[in-house]
Amino acid sequence: MKTAAARRLSTLLLGLSLAACGPAETPRIADYHGLGELRIATRHDAISYRLDEDGRVSGFEHDLLRALGDELDVDVTFVPYPDATRALDAVINGQVHMAAASLGVNRRLPLRWSKPLREVEYVVVGRSGGQADASADEQSLAGRTISARRGSLAAEKIMDIRKRRPGVNVHFPIKAGEEQLLADLAAGKLDLVATDRLHYALAVHLHPALEIVYELPEPSAIAWALPAGQHVLAAEVDAFIGRAAADGRLARLADRYFDYVRRLNTADITTFLARIQERLPRYRAFFHEAEAQTGIDWRYVAAVAYQESHWDPQATSFTGVRGMMMLTADTADRLGVNDRLDPRQSILGGARYLAMLKDLLPDEIDEPDRTWLATAAYNLGMGHMNGARAIARRLGKDDRAWWEMKSVLPLLSRPEYAQRLKSGPARGGEAVVMTENVRSYHDILARLEPPYEAGLALPSLRLGKADRAGAQSAGSSRSTPPM
């Protein structure tokens, strides 16, 4: 990597060279090698480039481009634009090296497109109970107003339909991305919205009344846009994407950011949203206290509790697990929980147990995989998790990655694998379902509920040897699937 001083010098030289250009010349950004940085046009988006509530930038394409920068040995600078059209114009005008913003490949533009990052399907979305909800063809869209994000491939497809069906009205709201368009649709402010299936799936988590009324023809692909004459960088980008696809990085990032969202059905989401209103307020303070004690996001603890009991403090399983966090009697004893049916004791005990499980995992397991593996261990017990990780290593899979482990855990119920486990067989597939559901519930809570802010937070729990041993033992006794 270039030093900061070297990058400043490169930028200064670039500025001097641009200042020397005549008024009729279009300034072109310097080669990224000479500049020491790769400049990327993007836009804020829930999938590709997002700003979290703590100010941290993340996203599917953001993380992938950071990895590209590491391989090219240059810094990566993201330049957000209000919409995709302006981001693509920045590429065409030579202001950036390329654009990455959930861009559907559009061959009509004078651009060079990278290898695809993921496949994408486009749909028209309406509201349950609205006019012509069950649209089956283009003709049924006549007389309707379809809103779309300006510059999106969905908008291009709608304009093509309009040429064939003049009765279709098209609306491009100013500065509105998919999330806002779909929220406005759910609120009854818009008639129909054209978007991609993934943004629709994310929106349904908050607005279960949305439904697909028409599937737009010809699926496409999300890719990066480069200048039409760019050959060297394009070749390096395509080679990088090829390696990322081959070694599983693309799949792992997709799983991290969006693949899990399709697991819950509309009934699940509708019930969950209702219980956020009806039940969560009674226990929110206990979940806040759990975060103050353990450092685990209170919304994640609440998601675990919902998966376990639907926030019912009296929940009881036929196998003997009880309470909001569905603790076994042995686990409750080791955690100092005297009454499993007391919601505060159960929430604090369950959060403490989850923190212990996270602490038991090896240091080389990073977040968020660490939390997801600990969540599966909450269901299985750490003994079975350790056994599954050993199986993963024997199969040549990465035992530190949830993406790999969720294909291994179901093997714990198969005799040829279970016979090698000290703890015996386990229903690892149910632990996967539990963890994936918790991820979805947490995603919804994180978008609806603010983070915990305490004036004087209690110190996070630090585990001693006795705690660690207790968690190890308690974990091995839990084999009950979530309710």
The residues near 194 (Cβ < 8 Å, ≥ 6 apart) are 122, 123, 124, 125, 146, 147, 148, 152, 154, 155, 157, 158, 216
Q: 57 in helix, strand or coil?
A: strand
DSSP string for 138-198: GGGGTT-EEEE-TT-HHHHHHHHHHHH-TT-EEE--TT--HHHHHHHHHTTS-SEEEEEHH
Residue 308: active-site member: yes
Distance CA 455, CA 77 (A): 35
What is the β-pairing status of strands 98-99 and 37-42? parallel
Distance CA 423, CA 463 (A): 24
Q: 73 in helix, strand or coil?
A: coil
Rounded-to-5 percentages of helix, strand, coil across the chain: 50, 10, 35
For 80, the enclosing helix (H) or strand (E) is strand 75-80
Active-site residue identified among 179, 289, 308, 430: 308
**With helix as H, strand as E and coil as C, how does 294-313 read?**
HCCCHHHHHHHHHHHHCCCC
Identify whether the C-beta of residue 409 lies closer than 8 Å to the C-beta of residue 432: yes
The residues near 171 (Cβ < 8 Å, ≥ 6 apart) are 145, 146, 147, 148, 190
Distance CA 88, CA 112 (A): 11
The residues near 233 (Cβ < 8 Å, ≥ 6 apart) are 32, 97, 98, 226
- Whether omega for the bond prior to residue 313 falls within 30 degrees of 0, making it cis, is no
Query: Smallest Cα–Cα separation from 300: which of 355, 226, 377, 366?
Result: 355
Let me know if 236 is exposed, middle or buried by CB neighbors in 10 A (0-12, 13-18, 19+): middle
Identify whether the C-beta of residue 454 lies closer than 8 Å to the C-beta of residue 293: no
Burial per residue of 277-290, b for 16 or more beta-carbon CB atoms within 10 angstroms, e otherwise: eeebeebbebbbbb
What is the β-pairing status of strands 145-148 and 111-113? unpaired
Distance CA 270, CA 268 (A): 6
Catalytic residues: 308
